[in-house]
Structure 1
Amino acid sequence: MISKVFRGHLKMRSLLSCLVILTSFVLAFPASRESQLQTKERVFPPRDWEIHSIAPSNHRIELKIGLPQPNFEILEKHLYEVSDPSHSRYGQHLSKEEVEALVAPHPESLELVTDWLASHGFGEQDMTRSPAQDWITVTVPVRLAEEMLDTTYYVWKHTASGESIVRTTSYSLPIHLHEHVDVIQPTTTFARLKSFKSTIHKLDKETGQIVEQSNTPIISASGVSVDPSCNTTVTVTCLKQLYNATDITPSANINNSFGITGYLDQFANFQDLQSFYAVQVPAAVNSSFAVLSVAGGQNNQSLSEAGDEADLDIEFGFGITFPINGTFFTTAGSPPFIPDLETPTDTNEPYTKWLDFILAQDEIPLVITTSYGDDEQTVPESFAKRACAGFAQLGARGVSLTFSSGDGGVGDGDSDPTTQTCFTNDGTNRTEFLPLFPASCPYVTAVGGTIHVPEVAVGFSGGGFSNFFARPAYQDAAVAAFLETFPNGTYAGLFNPNGRAFPDVAAQADNFQVVIGGETGLIGGTSAASPTFAGFVALLNDARLKAGLPSLGFLNPLFYSTAISGFNDITSGNAPGCGTEGFNATVGWDPVTGLGTPDVGKLVALVTSV
């Protein structure tokens, strides 16, 4: 149901739009519309990237132009109201059409940007517009992109991985367009999309069998018995025991749904899933999941092409949630652009490709987990904020989003965390902790990692404080309490205490028993923690839907308030990085394990009473 405030806003917006359009017919635009070019965005040459060569002039890129969303603050207000269990509108999620109306650009922005593209030879048939018209995409050769943006594209090579991408470090626009364009990419984004699977901390195909340490059950923080084998080998049964979910039987017939994103040619193998089910979830044998292709994404079923990340995600995500409807999104794009080959397009913007696709859908899974990201500083702030705004739109529509918090502690995980040195990308080369994106977005739930029973923080659990996003009000009390007990002067200048803090929650993150390419082994990473936690959120939705309540949607305002007692506080362990011991797990929220791990039994009671 649309609130009176929302209806009034739409009427006012409609009147304003009509006035602007009418004015455009009455008044001729000045001839100075083609104004002088001025730098729109500039970044310093990125850390660990070096110029390989001039970009081929005929190399084609998809330029995505983000137009301002003048009413985003109103959308954000709606998001927080429908996500706050103390608000009268809790659970009254917005429709696709309502969200699109709130993020639509001003008609003047649409007209001016369309005219600018037309001046470079683009007709309407050459432009792809998002449903809300806040993004315009055109495919152009590098030579034309350079002309339009008054810049030079280069092939950049990452010194450690050898990956190459086509990017520039600055671009310009006519002055009159600056207030009508938020961001244009791919230009200055140097993120290396990585799966947070601990750079395969463990994929031990020799020791994939369960090994019991003793016959004595372990009592978890939730007060339930856990098989002692769970200390060395994590299974679906272990997780349900550990998080007090063994008595929960979800339904397949209440319109519940669960989604997993896949990138970088990570293919989810059906045969591996059946082998996994045969051992760990026998009731699920012969069940399957839907595959949705995004921008031409494939899902190759050769066992030799089975993805370790994709298989981990589907096996535990769908294993925990069976028989809830499951969907795997396979998004095209593999980051290594090979500069010496005739690569037709540079497909290294997978988050926006997936966001374009999912926001255009009428039906979206109620919970979606993602196990990918990169250092926040590799993503220009303008781009990070627009991608984050896309996640807010999903939250407003009743979708819960979880993201892995990263596998580098307070650093980037590219080397020994106790010796690595972390530098800023702003030209000063200061030593600084490196927050992760999208985990640092305030509209998603970031999931850190634990290990063993009783649980302690796993040493690679990513966490920290954003340099782009301010601390949201929902976590003020919890984070302030942590900072008050944090020794004065510790790590001074290495992190932003006023930034959005993450992770929000945690789950087991190592020694997961998987089947990959037909072989059984162990694997870990916060990429295991995110689908695990998201799977239990789907069980919470099951309880709410059965009670006639709407889906949980954006989780954080609930978790940091009414549901805070439904978490097992993790108070031991730390996650080093950047040549330091990093932050410690401690009483209350901390930037290693967040609020802690879920007690699903308690959470079911809590979420069905609000």
Structure 2
Amino acid sequence: MRIPIFTAASLALAVLPCLAVPSYYVSRDNGCEHQVKESITPPHGWTKYAAAPPYHTITLRIALSQPHFSTLEQHLAEISDPDHPRYGAHLSAEEVDALAAPHSDSIRLVDEWLAGHGLKDSDIARSSSKDSLSFTVPVKLAEQMLDTEYNVWRHDDDEYILRTTRYSLPAKLHAHIELVQPTTIFARWKGLKSHLFYEDVEVQTKTLASPLMNVNNFNVVGGGILPAGRVDPNCNYTITLNCLRQMYNIEYTPQAIDQQRIGITGYLEQFANIEDLQSFYKMQRPDALGSDFEYFSVAGGINNQSIEAAGTEANLDVQYAFGLAHPIPGVYWSTAGRPPFQADIATVRNTNEPYQEWLDYMSSFPNPPAVISTSYGDAEQTVPRSYAVNVCRGFAKLTARGVSLIFASGDGGVGDGNPDPETQKCISNDGRNATRFSPLFPATCPYVTAVGGTNSYPEVAVYFSGGGFSNYFPRPAYQSQAVNQFLGKLGNTYQGLYNRFGRAIPDVAAQGRHYAIHSRGKWASIGGTSAAAPVFAAVISLINDARLAQGKSVLGFLNPALYKSAIPGLNDITEGNNPGCGTNGFSATDGWDPVTGLGTPDFLKLKDIYTNMP
């Protein structure tokens, strides 16, 4: 994409009052017809720091209205319902693009508006369905286009971003534009990793000092499928691939390995290190030694292979997803940029929101992996509703193509993603400043499968497992019966602290503590729902393989079949809770609960269920 050149003189003319400039300099909206499109109160923890540097460039992304999205939703409902004749008949990329395309009037009017501000077609990048477009302009021009004022905002954790709390659009464009970002989004998209979950010194010391952690003895931990479903007791202190095989009955040799792939997304300069992966394979999966993954760069993303740059989140994700699913091929995407804006103007950083960037890239990505796991998110209320809805629609487009999207549910219990209950900010962002449970997005999107956490064996809910109810998305029909049963038992407990009509998370769970990973040249113990998500993704990838070997389709959007047919293939977790916001949180119980969802996978049972579906 070419960045248009704007001189100081042309920018000065552009921001003068519309009646004071010659007509050929005035944008087509005249700068006088704007109406507020979106206005927010900045989330807690953010304060205005400084005015935005006027000539710093910013990449604006515009989402256009999608008049046929309800039709796409209907297709998705049919192809993901195991009782529907169309089950598994996933849509092609072209079919999805046709259903996601904006009206031609929307494209024309927005293009005219952009041209009026000096942007040429060659300056604009468009998604394959033309429902999203992006371009790079100086902040000064962005402010004039949106009738707003950008500022540098500082978070209590000493992070900086470039944002505004209100922006406007010409009145004639309101029906055609869903949102413009980055403007009002204050999410930090934290990796849901577990450097904080070396949970306590005693457990950490016991785990890391144990002879079982010595690389020479490492492969004896969880030595394989044990008789009668037994699990090696050492797995209570150290989770390995073999521990997961034992706990979840993963006894299967892939047969259709050339027919699908499993993917991991990487953000915030998290790099998946190949040297660490080989060291991990040497001790935990020797038959995978020498195998690699396919790497794709999104928006200039890199995958720095310096051992010092290895990311614990990225290493955790690829080692367990690809290790469990081997030899099914793996894919890793690195999306460039991170939200924090450096106060030093000479070293400013990208202010993009990574999910829109990645989704635009994926809209034209051929043959996407059948399963994709993501371990990033932030408190839902830090994300404008318009942004959450638009990104969620992007996920729906991918699932309609037959992709199972797996997201970690969060590491803050019922809180805001902060794993320390003492410092959680569970204050509503609606002007009331009331205490409110705070689920994480994108896990709350109804088109993804959210994964919570457990620990120990027999399994109990891990205390930090993110769970609760969305304040943005209504509860989808596929989970109504299971969730209503839980709410009936909950009664009036926590009334007013959560939205009892919202999309409920998590959907499922997996182990979330004491994972042994190899990172930056040494072994470490780590945990979080970011560990549970790639494990569940690997289980689904292996089930896909069994279906493909029978000539059937991959599973695609999982949730309708999970809640309708797959419950007998899940281990119901009935102990534990997820404290936060000054409460004990929700409790695990019989059936679905907002700590462990429907439960953890029993691979052999799930494989039988899914391979007997059409």
Runs (4+) of structure 1 exceeding 4 A deviation are 31-35, 203-206, 215-223
Q: CA deviation at 1:45?
A: 2.2
Aligned counterparts of 1:581 and 1:220: Cα–Cα separation in 2: 36
Q: Which amino acid aligns with 1:243?
A: Y
Q: CA deviation at 1:360?
A: 1.3
Structure 1 residue aligned with 2:84? 87
Structure 1 residue aligned with 2:22? none
Structure 2 residue aligned with 1:168? 164
For residues 558 and 319 of structure 1, do their structure 2 counterparts lie closer, same or farther at Cα, with a shift above 3 Å needed? same
1:230 to 235, 238, 257: 235
Q: CA deviation at 1:418?
A: 5.7
Mapping of residues 167-186 of structure 1, within 5 Å: 167-186=163-182
Q: CA deviation at 1:463?
A: 0.3
Aligned counterparts of 1:335 and 1:189: Cα–Cα separation in 2: 10
Aligned counterparts of 2:586 and 2:470: Cα–Cα separation in 1: 15
Structure 1 residue aligned with 2:508? 505
1:278 to 264, 278, 282: 282
1:149 to 146, 151, 169: 146
Structure 2 residue aligned with 1:9? none
Q: Which amino acid aligns with 1:361?
A: F
- The reply on whether 1:52 has 2:52 as its aligned counterpart is no
Structure 1 residue aligned with 2:64? 67
Aligned counterparts of 1:124 and 1:354: Cα–Cα separation in 2: 22
Aligned counterparts of 2:174 and 2:351: Cα–Cα separation in 1: 26
Structure 2 residue aligned with 1:352? 356
Structure 2 residue aligned with 1:521? 524
Q: CA deviation at 1:230?
A: 0.6
Q: CA deviation at 1:37?
A: 1.0
For residues 162 and 471 of structure 1, do their structure 2 counterparts lie closer, same or farther at Cα, with a shift above 3 Å needed? same
- The reply on whether 1:263 has 2:267 as its aligned counterpart is yes
For residues 419 and 177 of structure 1, do their structure 2 counterparts lie closer, same or farther at Cα, with a shift above 3 Å needed? closer
Q: Which amino acid aligns with 1:190?
A: F
Structure 1 residue aligned with 2:552? 549
Deviations 1:128-165 (A, max 9, x none): 11110001111011000000000000000111x21100
Identity among equivalent pairs (%): 55
SS in 2 for 1:402: strand
For residues 356 and 121 of structure 1, do their structure 2 counterparts lie closer, same or farther at Cα, with a shift above 3 Å needed? same
Mapping of residues 297-308 of structure 1, within 5 Å: 297-308=301-312
- The reply on whether 1:406 has 2:410 as its aligned counterpart is yes
SS in 1 for 2:470: strand
- The reply on whether 1:336 has 2:336 as its aligned counterpart is no
1:583 to 570, 583, 586: 586
Structure 2 residue aligned with 1:569? 572
Aligned counterparts of 2:529 and 2:419: Cα–Cα separation in 1: 17
For residues 222 and 70 of structure 1, do their structure 2 counterparts lie closer, same or farther at Cα, with a shift above 3 Å needed? farther
Q: TM-score, normalised by structure 1?
A: 0.91
- The reply on whether 1:595 has 2:598 as its aligned counterpart is yes
Mapping of residues 427-506 of structure 1, within 5 Å: 427-486=431-490, 488-506=491-509
For the Cα contact (< 8 Å) 1:405–1:503, is it kept in 2?
yes
For the Cα contact (< 8 Å) 1:463–1:591, is it kept in 2?
yes
Structure 2 residue aligned with 1:210? 212
Q: Which amino acid aligns with 1:534?
A: A
For the Cα contact (< 8 Å) 1:113–1:177, is it kept in 2?
yes
Task: Give the CA RMSD over aligned residues.
Answer: 2.2
For the Cα contact (< 8 Å) 2:61–2:133, is it kept in 1?
yes
For residues 97 and 520 of structure 1, do their structure 2 counterparts lie closer, same or farther at Cα, with a shift above 3 Å needed? same
For residues 223 and 480 of structure 1, do their structure 2 counterparts lie closer, same or farther at Cα, with a shift above 3 Å needed? farther
Structure 1 residue aligned with 2:6? none
SS in 2 for 1:580: coil
For residues 588 and 333 of structure 1, do their structure 2 counterparts lie closer, same or farther at Cα, with a shift above 3 Å needed? same
Q: CA deviation at 1:127?
A: 1.1
Aligned counterparts of 2:278 and 2:228: Cα–Cα separation in 1: 32
Q: Which amino acid aligns with 1:540?
A: I
SS in 2 for 1:495: coil
SS in 2 for 1:139: strand
Q: CA deviation at 1:302?
A: 1.0
Structure 1 residue aligned with 2:37? 40
Aligned counterparts of 2:341 and 2:209: Cα–Cα separation in 1: 36
Q: CA deviation at 1:218?
A: 13
Q: CA deviation at 1:219?
A: 13
Aligned counterparts of 1:208 and 1:306: Cα–Cα separation in 2: 25
Q: TM-score, normalised by structure 2?
A: 0.91
Q: CA deviation at 1:200?
A: 3.1
Q: CA deviation at 1:366?
A: 0.5
SS in 1 for 2:551: coil
Aligned counterparts of 2:101 and 2:423: Cα–Cα separation in 1: 47
Q: CA deviation at 1:552?
A: 0.2
Aligned counterparts of 2:422 and 2:585: Cα–Cα separation in 1: 9
Structure 2 residue aligned with 1:13? none
Aligned counterparts of 2:92 and 2:124: Cα–Cα separation in 1: 26
Moved more, 85-94 or 410-419: 410-419
Q: CA deviation at 1:505?
A: 0.2
SS in 2 for 1:607: helix
Q: CA deviation at 1:222?
A: 12
Q: CA deviation at 1:585?
A: 0.4
Aligned counterparts of 2:575 and 2:509: Cα–Cα separation in 1: 13
Q: CA deviation at 1:32?
A: 8.6
Aligned counterparts of 1:221 and 1:210: Cα–Cα separation in 2: 18
For residues 290 and 392 of structure 1, do their structure 2 counterparts lie closer, same or farther at Cα, with a shift above 3 Å needed? same
SS in 2 for 1:338: coil
Q: Which runs of 5+ in 1 are unaligned?
A: 1-30
SS in 2 for 1:179: coil
Aligned counterparts of 1:119 and 1:587: Cα–Cα separation in 2: 60
Q: Which amino acid aligns with 1:210?
A: L
SS in 2 for 1:535: helix
SS in 2 for 1:584: coil
- The reply on whether 1:96 has 2:93 as its aligned counterpart is yes
For residues 223 and 595 of structure 1, do their structure 2 counterparts lie closer, same or farther at Cα, with a shift above 3 Å needed? farther
SS in 1 for 2:321: helix
Aligned counterparts of 2:163 and 2:195: Cα–Cα separation in 1: 26
SS in 1 for 2:446: coil
Q: CA deviation at 1:421?
A: 4.7
For the Cα contact (< 8 Å) 1:222–1:242, is it kept in 2?
no
For the Cα contact (< 8 Å) 1:222–1:244, is it kept in 2?
no
Aligned counterparts of 2:505 and 2:381: Cα–Cα separation in 1: 16
For the Cα contact (< 8 Å) 1:418–1:576, is it kept in 2?
no
Q: Which runs of 5+ in 2 are unaligned?
A: 1-27
Q: Which amino acid aligns with 1:606?
A: I
Deviations 1:193-239 (A, max 9, x none): 11111343129584375379xx9999999961111111110000100
- The reply on whether 1:538 has 2:534 as its aligned counterpart is no
For the Cα contact (< 8 Å) 1:218–1:453, is it kept in 2?
no
For the Cα contact (< 8 Å) 1:220–1:454, is it kept in 2?
no
Structure 1 residue aligned with 2:189? 193
Mapping of residues 362-441 of structure 1, within 5 Å: 362-414=366-418, 416-417=420-421, 420-441=424-445
Structure 1 residue aligned with 2:247? 242
Deviations 1:55-93 (A, max 9, x none): 100111111010000000000000110000010000000
For residues 592 and 104 of structure 1, do their structure 2 counterparts lie closer, same or farther at Cα, with a shift above 3 Å needed? same
For the Cα contact (< 8 Å) 2:257–2:327, is it kept in 1?
no
Aligned counterparts of 2:347 and 2:74: Cα–Cα separation in 1: 44
Aligned counterparts of 1:202 and 1:588: Cα–Cα separation in 2: 30
Q: Which amino acid aligns with 1:528?
A: A
- The reply on whether 1:129 has 2:134 as its aligned counterpart is no
